[in-house]
Structure 1
Amino acid sequence: MKGLHLTAQRILQLAGLCLACTTSISSLAAQTTQPTSTFTTPYILQDYLSQERKAAGLVSKSIQVGNVKWTYNEGGSRSSPSILLIHGLAGNRDNWNRVAHYLTPYYHVIIPDLPTNGDTQVPSDFDISVPNVTEQLRQFVIKIDVEDKLNIAGHSLGGSIATLYASQFPFDTQSLFLINSAGIYKKANTIYSKDPYFLKNLIVSKPGDLDEVSHQLMQQPPNVPFKLKQAQEKVLIAQSPQTQKMIEQIITLNRIYTPDSFARLAGNVEAPTLILWGKQDKIINVEAANELKSLLKRAEAPVILNNVGHMPIIEADQEVANHYLPFLAKSQKFINPLTDKLIPLN
């Protein structure tokens, strides 16, 4: 059953990854959410997710913060340093379960569903611009009392949110981990990063689309039992109208923002940073990794995983953890230069 659980989790994680790619820090401004769907996730997926969380040492929780009812996974001891794991656009908290399995024995792990994603509930007129989502995320971590010396990790668009958080709250950010992180890069040369119109090709809108999309997202997509794949396609198809509208916003707004505005944001990050990329990423090409390093003050040389695409947290979860754990251990000894006057700032 363990192998079946793994493949089920991997296919479920494709739910939000169609858009977790080239979106910039500001490219979702002024969007509003769509009415809550009446679609219910098939029980077979719910059951496997529950088992995956348990195997990873995670439990599902919820908490009301302002007008947002957050749903999140939590695991590990609260006496250990805290890690906030951020999923990509239209993804969900369970995208991180396989990586979290390696983290919970040593760290306190928090993985929220971002507003309008997964089971987190927001008003119909909620502003899902990245700056507002980041501010709401800040209120969430304060409410659950993990904001101090927080280690933050983000995948794809979640990397942009993590970067913005670290830039806005440098006193409280202990470390930053960016995986195939979205942004506006000068060296981005895939069709998706050059022209967001092509993101429409990643929408799962009819049966059979999921196979094609998964081959764009991953170098070696896993074999998935037919019933699980069929159930997941139903979820994605139900989400496709909202996905279409979000892409139309991205197409419009990505004409406004530039690599220079993204560079200024990244340049404000004070935290030590680890960058990891799949070499065969077809969504954001691997050359963006070194460009991102050049923008950050304290970034280590990027880790490049061969035979991995846009989805290292699915394709190479153990490798991701193997690189992240030593970086985390080293980062806990780091004294934030903004709080220690003896350490010169760059």
Structure 2
Amino acid sequence: MKNTTLLFSALLLAFVFGLIRGQYAQVGHWLYANVTDLEASLYGFEQDQVDIGEMSLALYKTPGAEAKPTIVMLHGYSADKDVWARFAKHFVNDYQVIIPDMAGHGDSPYQPEWDYSMPAQAKRLAALLDKLDIQQAHVIGNSMGGFLTATFAIDYPQRVLSATMIDPAGVIPPQASDMMKMLEQGDNPFLVKNRTEFDDFYAMTMAQPPYLPDIVLEAIGQSYIERHDQLEKIFHDFHSSDYLEEKLGQLTAPALLWWGDKDRLLHVSSVPVWQTGVKHLQTEIWPGIGHMPMVEEAASAAEKYQAFLTSIE
């Protein structure tokens, strides 16, 4: 098991090897992978792999919390379970928290022949809950994970205690975002070919990103470059899924919608579409925040989410 000594060793390595450009990305990748795992463990999470038949999904979970209510946290396209740790730490005392890497992301496997559409990912999520013997859960998801949250709540309504969508995909926004304008010109900002393109993409993801040293950003950028074909396949399947405008009325679980008003990936003008479709939807628009409020304002977001859960329990 990793321990606190690793953190100091990692920082020392970052300083020493960061000076050697030829090894910069490799050390940054090691640093990011190990320190994020260490951080999650310090918050009370353990890592696990769960065989759902088709594949084995990696996840963080709170051990020994099986008797508590469950929250499932779903990351966005191209992201992984680590985006949730600083938000999720606020719930470890009162909930069983499950944070999976969905198929093709993080430490979960990818195969080009697999289906990465939202119905397929929702089926995998149901299989994961079955394996963990979880009958019902609060589900919260960001971006693609928000699309998946809504899809799961519609397809498996008996299993969802509440559905929270954070800057979700899944509807056509009335006003085009910066990303949508790029896609219309045949340029997908997620499919980067060099560090400059990654930096431009990363700037689109958050208005107030938490600090990451350049050595880590270099590693993340290199990972995007190496995963180009994989991300392209997942994006195709994900965006080929039927959008939800016609189905939103079937989302009957208590529901919460958050949106950062500075979101450059998915435009905030989508909010009225969700409000029209989902009855009794609670909504909050976050001023000055981008695509990931739970990362940009982790503590505040956790406080607000807890208030929502308390209001429906």
- Judge same fold: TM > 0.5, yes or no: yes
Alignment of structure 1 residues 254-293 onto 2, 5 Å: 262-293=244-275
Residues 165 and 257 of structure 2 are in contact (CA less than 8 Å); yes or no, is this contact kept in structure 1? Answer: yes
TM-score (norm 2): 0.84
Residues 203 and 244 of structure 1 are in contact (CA less than 8 Å); yes or no, is this contact kept in structure 2? Answer: yes
1:295 paired with 2:277, answer yes
Report the AA paired with residue 305 of structure 1.
Answer: W
Residues 104 and 230 of structure 2 are in contact (CA less than 8 Å); yes or no, is this contact kept in structure 1? Answer: no
Alignment of structure 1 residues 113-262 onto 2, 5 Å: 113-121=101-109, 123-148=111-136, 150-193=137-180, 196-197=183-184, 200-247=188-235, 253=240, 262=244
Residues 154 and 160 of structure 1 are in contact (CA less than 8 Å); yes or no, is this contact kept in structure 2? Answer: yes
Report the AA paired with residue 282 of structure 1.
Answer: R
Tell me whether 91-100 or 180-189 shows the greater mean CA deviation: 180-189
Q: How many residues align?
A: 290
* 2: CA distance, partners of 1:163 / 1:52: 29
Instruction: List structure 1 segments (4+ residues) > 4 angstroms apart after TM superposition.
Output: 245-251
**Identity percentage of aligned residues:** 23
**CA RMSD of superposed structures (Å):** 2.6
Greater RCO structure (CA 8 Å; 6+ sep): 1
Name stretches of at least 5 consecutive residues in structure 2 with no aligned partner.
12-25
Pair 110,223 (structure 1): closer, same or farther in 2 beyond 3 Å: closer
Match of 1:277, SS state, is: strand
CA deviation string 1:175-213 (max 9, x = no partner)? 111100112235242243366345513433212333221
1:87 paired with 2:75, answer yes
Residues 55 and 101 of structure 1 are in contact (CA less than 8 Å); yes or no, is this contact kept in structure 2? Answer: no
Paired position in structure 2 for 1:73 = 60
Tell me whether 57-66 or 285-294 shows the greater mean CA deviation: 285-294
Pair 221,123 (structure 1): closer, same or farther in 2 beyond 3 Å: closer
CA drift of 1:49 comes to 1.3
Paired position in structure 1 for 2:312 = 331
Paired position in structure 2 for 1:107 = 95
Match of 2:31, SS state, is: helix
Pair 203,188 (structure 1): closer, same or farther in 2 beyond 3 Å: same
CA drift of 1:135 comes to 0.7
Name stretches of at least 5 consecutive residues in structure 1 with no aligned partner.
9-38, 333-346
1:308 paired with 2:308, answer no
| Larger helix share, 1 or 2 | 2
CA drift of 1:41 comes to 8.4
Match of 2:161, SS state, is: strand
CA drift of 1:154 comes to 0.8
Match of 1:264, SS state, is: coil
